[in-house]
Amino acid sequence: MSFGGQIAWDDTVLPFQLDHSDIRGRVARLDTALERVLMRHDYPPVIEALVAEAALLTAMIGQTIKLRWKLSIQVRGDGPARLIATDYYAPETEGAPARIRAYASFDKDRLDLNGPGFPQIGNGYFAILIDQGPDMTPYQGITPIAGRSLSDCAEAYFAQSEQLPTRFALSFGRATLPGQPEKWRAGGVMVQHMPQASGATPREREAISEDWNRANLLLDTVEELELIGPKVQPPDLLFRLFHEEAPRVYDPQAVHFGCSCSEDKVRQSLSIYSAKDIRSMTTPEGTVTADCQFCGAHYVMDPASLGFEAGGDGA
């Protein structure tokens, strides 16, 4: 793809509501944030596409969680594309950017580099996890891998786990802006019917169903270049698609790449191991090393500083 300009809507999620249809949604554009996710790994294009789709879904779904919460998507299968994992960190304070990170694990010997990515996940599950902070039980919802894409899996998740009709229209791929190297861009629209009030009459339920069907037909008219931009701004896209439904937009949410790893967290994760385990992890150079799967950060630590005696006999 080639574009003639870039706009300020990159790396944002714009929430909206269709007042005449009782439908809410989000428009997302990822550019630099997605590129920073992918540049930390040497993924083949087929895996990059899966990570790009998962990151875009995470940005749109995550925008609804509360300050300081974390939303994660995990896709696990028995195929060569074994795992896609993403995290969305809600802003620490009002007006601050959200942060996103992602990584994938795959069997390069079995991976078909020229085939589509989704079928190579195989049989498995699509899960959404929400961490509400210390002393709170994390929420976890799981549904089987279904459909022909990760967005199909997300739609099935909302239908089965949340009982909320949901649709996604996504576009992602490598793009070229004038004077810049080729890099990944992604964009999408998410629409979701708001929960129905209890006690609705048959006529009201019929009207709700008609509203949802109409919104889906309108969303089906969206074009890939409209989703990715950058010439079509999200508010203009919403008006083009849903002007008869009275779209109302809210403040956009900025999304940046950000990893939460740190040496302290690595030390904490190693605290469950015995002195014997730590000795088995110690390199010939006398250090313990660890790498962050999300951002690639490399940590080198003295075994004695991990709270164990390097030469101890504890089990």
Pairwise CA distance, residues 242 & 240, whole Å: 6
With pLDDT > 90 as the criterion, what percentage of the chain qualifies? 64
Pairwise CA distance, residues 275 & 186, whole Å: 46
Q: What is the pLDDT of residues 126-159, one digit of tens each?
A: 999 999 988 899 999 999 999 999 999 999 999 9
Query: Domains of the chain, with CATH numbers?
Result: 12-257 (3.55.30.10), 263-306 (no CATH)
Strand-pairing partners, residue 65, are none
CB-facing half-sphere around the CA of 219: CA atoms within 13 A? 22
* pLDDT for res 224: 92
Helix (H, G, I), strand (E, B) or coil at 304: helix
Tell me: pLDDT of 104 over 50. Answer: yes
CB 255 within 8 A of CB 71: no
CB 91 within 8 A of CB 67: yes
Structure tokens at 241: 């698609």
Q: What is the pLDDT of residues 58-97, one digit of tens each?
A: 999 999 999 999 999 999 999 999 999 999 999 999 999 9
pTM of the model: 0.88
Q: What is the pLDDT of residues 2-49, one digit of tens each?
A: 333 445 789 999 999 999 888 999 999 999 999 999 998 999 999 999
296 confidence band (pLDDT: 50, 70, 90): confident
Helix (H, G, I), strand (E, B) or coil at 158: helix
Pairwise CA distance, residues 195 & 214, whole Å: 17
CB 59 within 8 A of CB 13: yes
